[in-house]
Structure 1
């Protein structure tokens, strides 16, 4: 069936959805991945020959991450909770799916897609902005031209705390929903507005989980305007 969208809009949507979600990795040399979990993407990053800095806040998951990264000399990890403020205490909720849905925010409509996910405990963690994290660990930010976030609703806080660094990134990717998956979370429209206001445009957008009541989770990548 033919689309009823205006032709220009249809072409743009088809182009965005047709791009490989991680195709941009061919165009970068280094990645900062905030919300690492156990480093699931480490092999893919290695295939692209990338330098990678992983950031993971959960102590037990971080131990597994470091072990997983041992065979990859160009990849390193630091344990930290990246937010918009330095040294502020946060209640960080640990989820029962190996920590993959852990967040500083309460679960909300996330349950509509993954009803079995729940929090099992809470840790008190200190937040840190990305610029401060790099400075404290004597990491040169110029070595990384892509930022990837999987922080379960706090993506906007990460970006707000990293505004001084944004001009150096050519690509920024996030996992984000267009509904309130977590209470008060960053949603796709919020992220779009922030990125547009900081000189980025959408490069690709791929839905990967849909909500029966409407809405979806997306992998969305933004590219700095030329």
Structure 2
């Protein structure tokens, strides 16, 4: 996804030794985050503030990539169970190595959508920007180095089918960062939503992927499903300072 200055600093994308040093020091202070560095995975500290005060029993990580968000949540909430979903084979391999010794983390090597089937995953030069939608010129211009470099066929399944029989510990958080596929993930989770207390989702105000739903479409869908906005995590701005993306936290209203 396009990244804010803070996010870019945490991922080492800015050639600023001071920023990289600050990020590294923060990671080294925590045993779980420090272990992640051994596998080349930096916990997504840009989500730290939005996630640290939640009380959770389980997390569903849709668009897990190599485990950046799952690693953050494992460090913040050591007792939670994690169900992670990632279709890109190379990212799956890293995730499996990272969490090989953690029985409370389960990885599903599939993409999530509104219907079961197969689809082409459009691979970005930076794998965490890969998508089931074609990567547009807007994305490549906004975040250089994220252009499409190929495709791979992947399985697509509905989240509510995969986790229909799972004993999700409450409260449960669903995080969705699927590069334009967020609304499709939500549509494929509709029967599971009564068991999901929080949704943390990336919304875009520019079409970075061809056919990507707009932010207002996702907001309308979540409102109809009885979720209300309760927090803001990371934001991504363009060079003029305009916000292009935001990670928003929603909580399900009581029946």
Q: Report the TM-score, using the length of structure 2 for normalisation.
A: 0.73
Q: Deviations over 1:160-196 (max 9, x none)?
A: 0111111111100112211111111133211111111
Asked whether 1:158 is paired with 2:157, we answer no
Contact 1:112 1:212 in 2 (8 A): no
Q: Tell me how far apart the structure 2 counterparts of residues 94 and 41 of structure 1 sit (CA, whole Å).
A: 20
Partner of 2:94: 64
Pair 1:198-2:198 in alignment: no
SS at match of 1:164: coil
User: Is residue 2:157 matched to residue 1:128?
Assistant: yes
8 Å contact kept, 2:139–2:208: yes
1:62-101 superposed Cα distances (whole Å, 9 cap, x missing partner)? 11111111243321211111100012x211111111x110
Contact preservation (8 Å) 1:20, 1:204: no
Deviations 1:110-134 (A, max 9, x none): 2232022111111122311002222
Greater mean deviation of Cα atoms: 208-217 or 64-73: 208-217
Matched, 1:102 2:105: no
The answer for the alignment partner of 2:111 in structure 1 is 81
CA shift, 1:142, in A, is 5.4
SS of the equivalent of 1:105 reads coil
Q: Structure 1: which 5+ residue stretches go unaligned?
A: 1-18
Query: C-alpha distance in 1, partners of 2:228/2:61?
Result: 20
Relative to 1, partners in 2 of residues 1:44 and 1:115: Cα closer, same or farther, differing over 3 Å? closer
What secondary structure, in the 3-state scheme, does the structure 1 residue paired with 2:232 have?
A: strand
Contact 1:206–1:218 (CA under 8 A) maintained in structure 2: yes
* SS of structure 2 residue aligned to 1:93: strand
Q: State the alpha-carbon separation in 1 of the partners of residues 142 and 234 from structure 2.
A: 13
Distance in 1 separating the partners of 2:231 and 2:170: 24
Counting matched residue pairs gives 203
In structure 2, the residue corresponding to 1:65 is in which secondary structure? helix
Aligned partner of 1:11 in structure 2 is none
Find the aligned partners of 2:213 and 2:69 in 1 and give their Cα distance: 23
Partner of 2:121: 92
1:141 CA drift (Å): 4.1
Mapping 1:45-60, distance limit 5 Å = 45-47=73-75, 48-49=77-78, 50-60=80-90
> In structure 1, what is the Cα distance between the partners aligned to 2:101 and 2:156?
29
Q: Calculate the aligned-residue CA RMSD, in Å.
A: 2.0
Deviation string 1:185-212 (CA, Å, 9 cap, x unpaired) is 1332111111111100111124521124
Tell me how far apart the structure 1 counterparts of residues 89 and 82 of structure 2 sit (CA, whole Å): 19
Give the Cα–Cα distance (whole angstroms) in 1 for the partners of residues 139 and 251 of structure 2.
28
